[in-house]
Chains A and B, each alone.
Chain A
Amino acid sequence: MWHKYPNSKCTHVVSVDTIDRTVDPQTGIIRTERVLGCKQKAPIWIVKLFGGSEDAFVREISFVDPATQNVTITSVNLSLSQFATCYEQIRYSPLSATQTAFTQTAEVQARMALWRTAADGLEKWLVQRFEQNAQLGKSGFTDVLRNLWEERHRASP
């Protein structure tokens, strides 16, 4: 399972790094935490809007339990996780002497609270920009008027 990448069907995974690994001295369960780097083909509007890039990173945690012969792999996106998360869980468990059950689930969550703060922030920024620009516009026009007035004054004393 640690050799899942690179594989010819998942060419988008370009780097694999183990960042933590423990072998439990009681249970023999191996826990591995890895960071996978992917080349993603995100729609251009997503990249533009969310400021992502072609490189996306994923955190992956796996447990290998020799006693129950269960393997679970959970992964979640690190890139763009401020907007949404996608939890994927894969499990291999023995069904019989010759069969393995494979289950896969995914949970996608948009961070609504953050969306709201982002929307609030955008709104605030827009209001501020308006205030600044309105101020500038007003004083700018005042200058124009003053110049006109002064010019006329000079022309006909």
Chain B
Amino acid sequence: MSQSLSPECTPLKKKYDSCFNSWFEGYLEPAVAAGKSSDTRAAYSQKKADEFNQKCGKVWEEYKSCIQIAVKERGLDTLLQQARDENPLVEPIPPLPPAKSS
């Protein structure tokens, strides 16, 4: 596992990453199966989103406040804000049109 950009945040980063990883490990396969109908997908997604917040919410808040300070100290906050203003990327990128076979 890689480091945080700030050595002080690395322990929290590792804690958060492993929390996410263990949540994610059990996420994908049932999610793919549940994705076949929108009802089952919504039910499963809600359940897993709640579970993620329950499991990792606390360490996330700790890590977030650490990294936010580190980002600011390096002057990255303004660059980040500028990038977000230019391209928020909050919506998933739509699938590509089917490729033409050559």
Contacts and interface: CB of A to CB of B under 8 A. Distances in A.
B8 to A, nearest CB: 12
A17 B89 contact: no
B interface secondary structure, majority: helix
Contacts of B28: 64, 66
Interface string A55-74: 00101010111111110101
Contacts of A31: 90, 92
A156 interface: no
A66 B52 contact: no
Interface residues of B, number: 47
A19 B83 CA distance: 14
Interface stretch (A75-83, A119-127, A133-141, A145-153): A75-83
A26 B45 contact: yes
A16 interface: yes
Contacts of A17: 4-5, 9, 13, 67, 70-71
A131 B92 CA distance: 55
Give the interface residue-count category, chain A: 35 or more
A90 B35 CA distance: 23
A29 B35 CA distance: 10
B45 A59 contact: no
Interface of A: 2, 5-6, 13-19, 21, 23-31, 33, 35, 37, 57, 59, 61, 63-70, 72, 74, 76, 78-79, 81, 87, 89, 91, 93, 101, 103
